A and B are shown apart, each in its own frame.
Chain A
Amino acid sequence: VSQVIFFIAAIGALAGAIGVVTLRNPFYSVLSLAFHLVSLAALFLLLHAEFVAAAQVVVYAGAVMVLYVFVVAYVGGGEQIPSGAVLKVLGPLFAIAVAVELCIAMLGSALKGVKTQGAPIVPGFGQPSHIGTQLLTRYLFPFEAASILLLIAAVGAVVLARRRRGLEGGDEPPRHFRLTEPDFAGTMAEGGGVRSTAYDELLHPEVDGTDQPKPEPTHTGGW
């Protein structure tokens, strides 16, 4: 049974990974990554790592994926930029070469350790109580360092993504101030009907007759 589950989960994880790389729409890539993470959690369960699997599903497939989905929805998917010609050929070649090399190293060589089914399992292996005991005794320093790293990352993300008002001026489109009254108001030209819209545009090309503000420049960056 465990072999069947292993092959299903491994095929799911690899298919999810390929989907992340090949799908054009970033939204579908994020969904594919979520599928990949859930399949990987099944592999963790097969390896008797229950707490890591639970953390994977809750933290990764839950919280981090929601963050991705929000950013994709804010920035917007759209057409993809085609990659450069050189990297488009060399990148997959490099990946395939490394994969073949690693597979030869792990399957073809006479490594005794990786051919086993693993060490005998003590009861409670990978349970939250064991992990917590290890984290608070032997690995206390990495635990605290990780907490400080998370704090720094949270503060850094807020600083990076905040709206800078009045500091740089690049964020907000410049406001167009208009005169409060039309140019020909109160003159003979207004009474004589000289002020046609064509004449007004001839004098002031940027000011149209209505009081509508200029439309904000739309974002043209795209993906």
Chain B
Amino acid sequence: VNIGWYLVVSALIFCIGAGGVLTRRNPLSILLCLELMLNGANLALVAFARMWGGESGQIFALIVMVVAAAEVTVGLGLIVAIYRRRLPIDVDELSELHG
């Protein structure tokens, strides 16, 4: 299978995730769609590592996984804090910070 097909799959996963981030309003679903986008980028990185025959892309993919895990931890902590404060769990309602 050509490397190009892996890149097409990764691009499709990324675009599905981007559409989800744009349309959903639940912060939990937005986090899930962000995971999709990061995984699309991961697949592209691993495909490029295979293309060049070097392990650098795989190490980048591992670092991206670490960053995604950190992002998930902080994001889920924020969601739990929002729930505790009895605030509406809706990203359009949580607009106190925009200027």
Contact surface of A with B, Cβ cutoff 8 Å: 2-3, 6, 10, 13-14, 17-18, 20-21, 26, 29-30, 33, 36-37, 40, 43-44, 46-49, 51-52, 55-56, 59-60, 63-64, 67-68, 71-72, 74-75, 80-81, 83-84, 87-88, 90-92, 94-96, 98-99, 102-103, 106-107, 111, 113-122, 125-126, 130-131, 134-135, 139, 142, 146, 149-150, 152-154, 156-161, 163, 170-171, 219-223
Contacts and interface: CB of A to CB of B under 8 A. Distances in A.
A67 B76 contact: yes
A83 B97 CA distance: 21
Interface of B is mostly: helix
Interface in B51-81: 51-53, 55-56, 58-59, 61-63, 65-74, 76-81
A170 B80 contact: no
Given A20-B36, A43-B9, A134 B69 contact: no
Contacts of A149: 66-67, 70
A40 B3 contact: no
19 contacts: A30-B32, A37-B39, A59-B65, A71-B28, A75-B83, A80-B26, A102-B15, A103-B12, A106-B4, A106-B7, A119-B51, A119-B53, A121-B53, A149-B70, A150-B69, A160-B77, A161-B76, A163-B84, A221-B87
Interface of B: 1-9, 11-20, 22-26, 28-29, 31-33, 35-36, 39, 42-43, 46-47, 49-53, 55-56, 58-59, 61-63, 65-74, 76-81, 83-90, 92
A158 B76 CA distance: 11
Contact of A14 (B12, B59, B88): B12
B16 A107 contact: no
Contacts of B28: 26, 29, 68, 71-72, 75
A2 B1 CA distance: 8
A14 B63 CA distance: 23
Given A75-B80, A156-B74, A103 B24 contact: no
A75 B66 contact: no
B33 A20 contact: yes
Contact of A87 (B13, B22, B61, B83): B22
B72 to A, nearest CB: 6
Given A71-B80, A83-B25, A171 B85 contact: yes
A56 B65 contact: yes
A150 B51 contact: no
B13 to A, nearest CB: 5
